[in-house]
Amino acid sequence: MGICDGRTVIITGAAGGLGKAYALAFAAEGANVVVNDIGTSLGGEGRDTSAADAVVDEIKSAGGNAIANYDDVTDWDAGKRIVDAAVEAFGDLHVIVNNAGIVRDRMFVSATLDEWDATMHVHLRGHFCIARHAVDYWRSRSKEGHEVDARIINTTSGAGLQGSIAQAAYSTAKGGIASLTLVQAAELGRYGITANALAPAARTRMTKQAFAEKMATEGESFDVMDPANVAPTVVWLGSSLSKDVTGCVFELEGGKIMLEDGWREGPVVDAGAKWDPADVGEAVSRLLQERTPPRKVWGTG
């Protein structure tokens, strides 16, 4: 018996890297898995369905249940088709893992509008479309009197939480996903839906390119950057055991689970009256001295 026996999960971008690790781990814990992937390059170009098929074959060979889906998560109608495919194949839907993404690394002074729009499109619109259709399904079930025990698991990033050099678009999109998660958690709990987000650190196509030295841990006694290390927490979040956990962002790396503390009010100076512009600088200097130092932007040393 696994902790996800009988639950159905859709995982986007599930043909490789973290998505594949999630798919295999969910299946090992008894879940029915929809392996969604259109098989693009790291930058979002091209199409190849064979990788998704290979993950499905691996799950089935191990005795699990899975289907492949090749719909584009950024397409509104396709988002509904993905949800419908899960329900048609397995009778219900319980979990969405929004994992698909692209990266177009570029220093801000050289960034192009097309690169910016493509990154926002895949990450933000991609997170929206499929989750929105899943919520329609779960809300309808709830109104019909069925007990809903559903999960939205989004993917943010350390880049979205603290910024990353040469990743202005990616950082912006990932920061937006963290905020989206907070709103989903606040709004959807009444229907039996939780929403949480991950900021995973693991060896993937993206990270091998951007952080090659940090990702090179294969030869160590514990391969800290193996994507499989992230999967257990994701599977737990997708299980019924996590029903009381919502609105959280978890950073995951190796054997480490870290709960993000989020934006909160820091030190304050109140003049009790309208400020004179000339006096603001001194007040800000005091605030900067009293604050907890923020984490450095990735790539700044």
> Which residues carry out catalysis?
157, 170, 174
113 alpha carbon, distance to own chain's centre: 24
In this structure, the number of other CB atoms found within 10 A of the CB of residue 260 comes to 15
Tokens linked to 191: 């229907």
- The radius of gyration computed from the CA coordinates of the chain, to the nearest angstrom, equals 21
Burial class (CB in 10 A: 0-12, 13-18, 19+), 128: middle
Q: How far apart are CA 31 and CA 81, in angstroms?
A: 20
Q: Reduced to 3 states, what is the DSSP secondary structure of residue 101?
A: coil
Terminal Cα-to-Cα distance of the chain (whole angstroms): 46
Assess contact for 107 and 166: CB atoms under 8 A. Answer: yes
Whose CA is closest to 294, among 269, 273, 264? 264
- Tokens 């690790």 correspond to 21
**Burial call 161-170: b when 16+ CB within 10 Å, e when fewer:** bbbbbbbbbb
- Tokens 């109140």 correspond to 270
C-alpha neighbours within 13 Å on the C-beta side of residue 18: 32
Assess contact for 17 and 57: CB atoms under 8 A. Answer: no
Q: What are phi and psi of 267, to 5 degrees?
A: -60, 155
Q: How far apart are CA 8 and CA 62, in angstroms?
A: 17
Q: What are phi and psi of 103, to 5 degrees?
A: -140, 140
